[in-house]
Structures are given as C-alpha cells and as structure tokens.
Amino acid sequence: MSFRGKLRELIVALEFKKGDKIIYPNHGIGIIQDVITTTIAGMKQSLYRMHIYSNESTVMVPVGNIGEVGLRPIASKKEVDKLFRFLRDGSIDTYGDWKGRYQENSEKMRTGSITQVASVYKNLMLLSEHKPLSYRERKMLDRARYLIVSEVALVVDSTEEAAEKKLDRAVKISVKSALASSA
C-alpha cells in the first residue's frame, strides 16, 4: 500500500471535534469551528467546518472524506524532532526532467504529510544550488517553507522566525552533505 493509502486509513479512523487544530494540505493550519449535519443530494452528511488561517477562509469537508482530502492533526513534538532528523540526514531525491520532478513534488505536497512537504523543500533547495528554479518550483519551495515553518512554530511554541532559523540550519547541513557526496 502506498504512503498516501496508509495515511488515508489512519486519518479516516480519526475524529475531530470543535476547537481541534488541523492541517489542511497545501493550505496549512486551521481549526475545526464546528461539526454540522446537513442534507446534500437528499442524503444527510456530517461536515467539518474549518477556518484556514493562511487565507482566512472557511472550508467544509465531509467527515467521511478527511482521508481522501488529507486532513490531519497537528504534528506532535516527537514528529517534529523526527522531521528535523530527516531534514539533516543528507538524503535527497533527484529527478532528471522538470515535468516528472514537478509532478512528484506536487503529489507529495498534496499528501499533507509534514515529512513529504519537507522532502519537497529539501530537494528543491539542493536543486536551487545547481540552477535557478522555475517560477512554479520557486512558488512550491516558498509554499513548502511556509507550511513547515508555521506548523513547527505552533508545535514547539516558538516564533516563526525561530522555526525558520532551525529549518535553514537543518537543510543547510543536508544540502552541504549532498553537494559533498556528489563532488
């Protein structure tokens, strides 16, 4: 089973309640404002009404679709520690062609997994050391950075600036290691 399939299974088993902070893939941190029941196409459905902080929007997701959407709880401190170990480890995926790389990175971003988003960030940072990123890849790099920084700052109760510095240090170690091994 793919990573995304495993993630869906785990998330579907979760239930969120009003006030829970969540991660909505590609959008970042939000909060469950309410769980409502409504009739859609003649069928009653329960929906999560969420406020997404990054764009100040309200989104509704059917409770049964949270796995498909990739909605997940905020990472734990243990998961953030694991994330920074991953960011420092020096392993970086490389792709030959732009189209394949962009598709793979887009899929990783859609999972909502902080580790998958970090993988995109780390890989694009290394690539940017070799050549200028395309406009779309620069936007993806910026988005990945925002998603990581905002979640890490929330989890470890720090400022976004402190989370950015920690992210920069970790990725610098990884990129330096990858560049040294390719030389």
Q: Which helix (DSSP H) or strand (DSSP E) does residue 52 occupy?
A: strand 43-52
Angle in degrees, CA 10, 16, 17, rounded to 5 = 165
What are the DSSP calls for 130-151, one per residue? HSPPPHHHHHHHHHHHHHHHHH
Domains contained in the chain, number: 2
Are 84 and 63 found together in one domain?
no
CA dist 154 and 151 (Å) reads 5
Full residue range of the structural domain in which residue 108 is found = 77-182
- DSSP state string for 64-124: GGHHHHT-EEPPPHHHHHHHHHHHHS------SSHHHHHHHHHHHHHH--HHHHHHHHHHH
The count of C-alpha atoms lying within 13 angstroms of the C-alpha of 141, restricted to the half-sphere facing its C-beta, is: 17
Specify whether 39 is located in the same domain as 117: no
pLDDT (tens digit, 9 = 90+) per residue, 78-90?
999 999 999 998 7
**pLDDT tens for each residue of 105-143:** 999 999 889 999 999 999 999 888 888 999 999 999 999
The reply to whether 53 and 114 lie within a common domain is: no
Domain boundary among 40, 73, 106: 73
Write out the H or E segment, with its range, that includes residue 167: helix 160-182
Same domain, 97 and 175: yes
> What's the first-to-final CA gap in the chain, in angstroms?
36
- The model's pTM: 0.85
Same domain, 41 and 92: no
Same domain assignment for residues 97 and 163: yes
Ranges under pLDDT 70 in the chain: 1-14, 94-96, 182-183
Asked if 67 and 102 sit in the same domain, the reply is: no
Domain edge (last residue) among 27, 44, 73: 73
65, 154: one domain: no
Q: What is the pLDDT of residue 12?
A: 47
Whether residues 64 and 100 share a domain: the answer is: no
Are both 87 and 51 inside the same structural domain?
no
Spatial CB neighbours of 164, under 8 Å, sequence gap ≥ 6? 145, 149
Q: Which residue, of 56, 73, 90, is where some domain finishes?
A: 73
- Residue 73's Cα: distance from chain center in Å? 11
Are 81 and 160 found together in one domain? yes
Same domain, 163 and 105: yes
CATH of the domain at 8: 2.40.10.170
Two structure tokens written together for 131:
């050549």
Question: What integer pLDDT is reported at residue 162 of this predicted model?
Answer: 96
